[in-house]
């Protein structure tokens, strides 16, 4: 059997973290078995579906690198196929026209509720052997209902949740086409999974209730059933359903906030799945490990600190020139002329950055004119320190311009003037960068270059 999985989002908003995680699991499972990953856009809800949302989903998948092998297939472009299947089902007797008006259906439900029964369609138009159907009301367009089995039960071995059984009497005859002929949700999903020969349906557990209906439709169509795995949802750290309150929920907010796709993928992989104690791994490893055996039955909790920690890990690994491409757009006010190259600055700063936005902010140190606070200057540029700075700047003219020699020069200057390191390092930081917090001062001076360092010190003392 060749594995075929799908991601089937409804384009009604952004690609949220839960959707991305479902897509990732389906993709990784297909990759693990050398199978096919299908992208299907479930756009039949015309009021809520938008082309912008389709775009957002595709962009999100591209950013994450979850490349689909087939599709995107749009349900709205498959209407002819659904009509053909509906006609076949009507002919085969697994579906029937129902002329009950919405008011009549509501009245049925009312009556059932009144006697404490679960509201359901009462089967007025369901054809049975020997049964005479009512006469067809004039000018009424019928819906099409699926003839759900009356007895027995639907059982499937959910790859996440274990065996699930639902009695057929719990389900009434589902409307599979509206009076205008448009097919309904569960029917389209079943036909698509059948046509696209999906072998494994991995999706959020908000769909568990749809599964027995889809299984019955697939069985009526004579389709081979896929395996189903319903992944528990992602909760916020407070145990509530993940929402805006917990930070960004749209995947595409994360690049804007300075996250790398490999950090996001690594993070999402561990939301509801594990491989021993492994926390940090590549997508090659994920794909080689991911086989549905270690999916968690309980909801995963979103932890922004862990995501930030992973992002820092991947920033440290990332190529400086790649990071420069991400960081530069976040530095609109930077003056790059005559300043050190951004790649080198990033090399110095990336160790401590959780996001590329943080990296951009800290890199600005090198790309703006220093404006040291006057009170801080008074505090750090004392008469005791001034002669040391004077001698330091003089020797800057001839010292070999590298971190080690600059560090040695600072130490010899301190010794000659009987000072301690902060007494020289702090005013140097203030004069050259305008701030007291910087990475190691010798590295900062090296990057700024001799001319800038000398001129800024001379201007200040």
Q: Which is nearer to ligand GLU, 108 or 234 (CB)?
A: 234
Nearer to ligand GLU, 10 or 390 (CB): 10
Pairing of strands 300-301, 234-235: parallel
Q: Is 8 in the site for ligand GLU (CB under 6 A)?
A: yes
Is residue 9 near ligand GLU by the rule CB under 6 A? yes
Site for ligand GLU contains 42 (CB under 6 A): yes
- What's the distance, Cα to Cα, between the start and end of the chain in Å? 78
Nearer to ligand GLU, 203 or 350 (CB): 203
Shortest distance, position 104 Cβ to ligand GLU, whole Å: 30
DSSP character for 118? P
Q: Is residue 218 involved in binding ligand GLU (CB under 6 A)?
A: no
Smallest separation, CB 11 to ligand GLU (Å): 9
Least distance to ligand GLU from the beta carbon of 193, Å?
Answer: 8
Q: Does 227 bind ligand GLU (CB under 6 A)?
A: no
Residue 252 or 458 with smaller CB distance to ligand GLU: 252
Minimum CB separation from ligand GLU for residue 89, in Å?
Answer: 20
Q: Under the criterion CB under 6 A, does residue 172 sit at the interface with ligand GLU?
A: no
If phi > 0 it is left, if psi is from -120 to 50 it is alpha, else beta; for residue 272 that is left
Q: Which C-beta is closer to ligand GLU: that of 95 or that of 189? A: 189
Q: Compose the 179-198 pattern: x for residues touching ligand GLU by CB under 6 A, - for all others.
A: ----------x---------
d(CA 125, CA 113): 21
Q: Which residues are annotated as a binding site for ATP?
A: 244
226 binds ligand GLU (CB under 6 A): no
Q: In angstroms, what is the minimal distance from the CB of 8 to ligand GLU?
A: 4
Q: Is 164 left (phi over 0), alpha (psi -120 to 50) or beta?
A: beta
**How many chain residues interact with ligand GLU (CB under 6 A)?**
7
By CB under 6 A, residue 207 contacts ligand GLU = yes
Cα dihedral 369→366→443→459 (10° resolution): -10
Q: Tokens representing 135?
A: 């006469």
Query: Residues within the annotated binding site?
Result: 244
Give CA–CA dist 73/109, Å, rounded: 37
Q: ∠218-223-228 over CA atoms, to 5°?
A: 65
Q: Given the complex with ligand GLU, which of 196 and 414 has the nearer CB atom? A: 196
Q: What is the DSSP string of 10-51?
A: --SS--BHHHHHHHHHHHHHHHHTT-EEEEEE----TTT--H
Nearest residue to 431 (alpha-carbon basis) of 444, 420, 414, 419? 444
Q: Are 145 and 89 in contact (CB under 8 A)?
A: no
Assess 158 for contact with ligand GLU (CB under 6 A): no
Taking the complex as a whole, the smallest distance from the CB of residue 211 to ligand GLU amounts, in Å, to 9
Least Å distance, CB 185 to ligand GLU, is 8
The footprint of ligand GLU (CB under 6 A) covers 8-10, 42, 189, 203, 207
């Amino acid at each position: 059997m060749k594995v075929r999985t799908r991601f089937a989002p409804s384009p009604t908003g952004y690609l949220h973290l839960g959707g991305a995680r479902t897509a990732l699991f389906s993709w990784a499972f297909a990759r693990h078995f050398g199978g096919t990953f299908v992208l299907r856009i479930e756009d039949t809800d015309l009021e809520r579906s938008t082309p912008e949302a389709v775009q957002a989903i595709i962009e999100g998948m591209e950013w994450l690198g979850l490349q689909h092998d087939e599709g995107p297939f749009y349900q709205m472009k498959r209407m002819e196929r659904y009509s053909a299947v509906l006609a076949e089902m009507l002919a085969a007797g697994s579906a029937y026209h129902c002329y009950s008006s919405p008011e009549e259906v509501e009245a049925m439900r009312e009556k059932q509720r009144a006697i404490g029964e679960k509201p359901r369609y009462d089967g007025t138009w369901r054809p049975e052997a020997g049964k005479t159907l009512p006469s067809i009301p004039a000018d009424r367009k019928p819906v099409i209902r699926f003839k759900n089995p009356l007895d027995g039960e639907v059982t499937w071995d959910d790859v996440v949740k274990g065996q699930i059984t639902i009695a057929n009497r719990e389900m009434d005859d589902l409307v599979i086409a509206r009076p205008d002929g448009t097919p309904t949700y569960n029917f389209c999903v079943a036909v698509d999974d059948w046509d696209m020969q999906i072998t494994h349906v991995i999706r959020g557990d908000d769909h568990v209730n749809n599964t027995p209906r889809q299984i019955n439709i697939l069985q009526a169509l004579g389709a081979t059933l896929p395996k189903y795995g319903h992944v528990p949802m992602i909760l916020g750290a407070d145990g509530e359903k993940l929402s805006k309150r917990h930070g960004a929920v749209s995947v595409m907010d994360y690049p804007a906030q300075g996250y790398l796709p490999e950090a996001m993928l690594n993070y999402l992989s561990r939301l509801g799945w594990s491989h021993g104690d492994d926390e940090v791994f590549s997508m090659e490893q994920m794909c080689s490990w991911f086989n549905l055996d270690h999916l968690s039955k309980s909801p995963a909790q979103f932890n922004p600190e862990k995501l930030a920690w992973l992002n820092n890990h991947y920033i440290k690994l990332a190529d400086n020139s790649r990071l420069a491409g991400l960081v530069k757009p976040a530095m609109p006010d930077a003056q790059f002329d005559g300043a050190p190259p951004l790649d080198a600055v990033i090399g110095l700063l990336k160790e401590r950055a959780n996001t590329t936005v943080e990296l951009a902010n800290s890199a600005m140190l090198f790309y703006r004119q220093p404006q040291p606070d006057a009170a801080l200057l008074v505090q750090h540029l004392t008469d005791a320190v001034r002669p040391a700075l004077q001698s330091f700047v003089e020797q800057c003219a001839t010292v070999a311009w590298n971190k080690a020699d600059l560090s040695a020069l600072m130490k010899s200057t301190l010794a000659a003037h009987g000072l301690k390191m902060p007494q020289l390092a702090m005013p140097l930081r203030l004069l050259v960068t305008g701030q007291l917090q910087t990475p190691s001062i010798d590295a900062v001076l090296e990057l700024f270059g001799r001319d800038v360092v000398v001129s800024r010190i001379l201007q200040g003392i």
